[in-house]
Amino acid sequence: MIEKGRISNIQASMLAITSLTIIGHLIILTVVMAHSKQDGWIAGIFGSALGLIGIVSLVKLSQRFPGLTLIEILFQHFSWIGKILGLLYLFYFFIMACLATRLYAEAYKRIMMETPMWAFITVILLLSVYIVHKGLETLGRLNQVMLPVLVIFAMAVVILTINEKKDYTNLLPFLGNGLYPVSLGSLTVMGWFGEFAIMGMVLPYVQNPKKLMKTGIYSALLTLIFFLGPITGPIALFGPEEAAKMAFPTFSEVRYIEAGDVINRFDAIAILFWTVGLMIRISLFFYGLCLGTAQIFKTDTYKPFIIPFGWLIGVGAVIFAKNYSEINEFLFQSYVPLNILMGAALPLLFLFITMMLKKKKAV
C-alpha cells in the first residue's frame, strides 16, 4: 500500500466539506442564481438530496472493496474498460485541480490587478506541493485546524451583514418562475456534489470504514447548511437579477461590511480565507492525481509525480481559459454534466455492476 497514513472519519468529512464549500461559494452560487434566481435555496436543498446518489454509491463501492482506492478498484476489477475509466478519472482530477488553481488567481486579481496571474498560481502550487509531499495525514490535520476558523469567519460575515440593507422579500415569491428553473439549479448542485468523487482516493485510509456512510451523509448535510447562507445573502442584499450577474456574489457581499474604523477591508480578509480553502481543495485533487498515477504504475511512492504534476497543473491553470468569461462558459456548459457523470452516474453504475456480479456468483 503506497499511502501509509490514516485519517479519522471526522477529518475525512471535513476534507469533503472544505473542498465542496469553497468552490460552492466561489462559483456554484453564480450558476445556481442564474438558473433559479430567488429560489436558489430551494434548488440547493433538492440538489443536495440528488447529490446523495453519488455519495452513497461511492461509499458503498468503497466498502465492497476495502483498502482499495477508486483507481485500484477500476484497474483490478473492471477489466480493460475499468483501466480506461481509471485514466479518465485521473484526467478529471487534473481538470478540477487546474480549475481551482485558476479560480484562486482570478479571485486575487480582484484586489491585486497589477500582479501577473502566474505569480498567484506559483504561490498556491508551492504550498500545495509541500502539503501533498507531507501526505494525507498532514492534509487532514491541517484542514481540521483551518475549517473551524473558516466557519467562524463565515458566521462573522453573516452577523456583520445583518445590519446591511438586506431585504429578504427578494426571496419571494417561492417558485415564482415555476419548477423548471429550480430543476436546473438542482442539477447544478447535484453536479457540485459530484466532486465527492475525489474522496474515492481517501476513503480507504479512513480509520473506521463501517461508519463511512454516516461520514458521507453528514458531509452533505453540513455542506448544504454552509451553502444556504451565501445563496440567500447576496439575493437579499442585491436582488436576484443583480446577484446572478456577479462573478463572485459572496465577495461582493463581503465588500459591504465595515466594522467601524477598525476593519473596513473585509474583502482582503475574505480572500485570505478563500486562499486557505482553495489550498486544501487543490491539495486534495493534486494528492488524488499523484496517488492514482502511482497506483497505476505500481510504484512504492507517489512523491516522484508531485513536481511534474505541479508544473502541469500550473500550465493547465494558465491555459484553462483566456479570461473569466471562458471560465463562466465552462461552468454553465460543461461543469455540471461532467461532475454528474464522474461523481454520480459512473459510481452508481460501478455499484450496480458489482452487485449483479455478486448475485451471479451466488447463483
Confidence of residue 262 (pLDDT cuts 50, 70, 90): very low
What pLDDT, on the 0 to 100 scale, is given for residue 266?
Answer: 66
Q: Kindly state the average pLDDT of the residues 153-182.
A: 81
Q: Kindly state the average pLDDT of the residues 190-219.
A: 95
How big is the chain by its Cα radius of gyration, in Å? Answer: 20
Structural domains for the chain: 9-334 (1.20.1740.10)
User: What are the DSSP calls for 273-323, one per residue?
Assistant: HHHHHHHHHHHHHHHHHHHHHHHHHT-S-SGGGHHHHHHHHHHHHHHT-SS
Distance CA 295, CA 57 (A): 22
Confidence of residue 125 (pLDDT cuts 50, 70, 90): very high
With a CB cutoff of 8 Å and minimum separation 6, the contacts of 348 are 53, 54, 57
**Maximum C-alpha span of the chain:** 75
Task: Calculate the dihedral angle through the C-alpha atoms of 9, 11, 15, 21, rounding to the nearest 10 degrees.
Answer: 90
Tens digit of pLDDT for each residue in 283-309?
999 999 999 999 999 999 999 999 999
Confidence of residue 165 (pLDDT cuts 50, 70, 90): confident
Mean pLDDT of all residues belonging to the chain: 91
In the chain, % of residues over pLDDT 90: 71
Of the candidates 121, 103, 114, which has an alpha carbon nearest to the alpha carbon of residue 274? Answer: 103
Tens digit of pLDDT for each residue in 138-159?
999 999 999 998 888 777 777 7
What pLDDT, on the 0 to 100 scale, is given for residue 69?
Answer: 97
pLDDT at 2 over 90: no
With a CB cutoff of 8 Å and minimum separation 6, the contacts of 133 are 303, 306
Find out whether 197 and 341 touch, Cβ atoms under 8 Å. Answer: no
Helix, strand, or coil (residue 6): coil
Residue 219 neighbours by CB distance under 10 Å: 24
N-term to C-term CA, the chain = 33
pTM of the full structure: 0.94
What pLDDT, on the 0 to 100 scale, is given for residue 80?
Answer: 94
What pLDDT, on the 0 to 100 scale, is given for residue 4?
Answer: 83
Confidence of residue 362 (pLDDT cuts 50, 70, 90): low
- Range scoring the smallest mean pLDDT among 41-45, 51-55, 154-158, 209-213: 154-158
Confidence of residue 208 (pLDDT cuts 50, 70, 90): very high
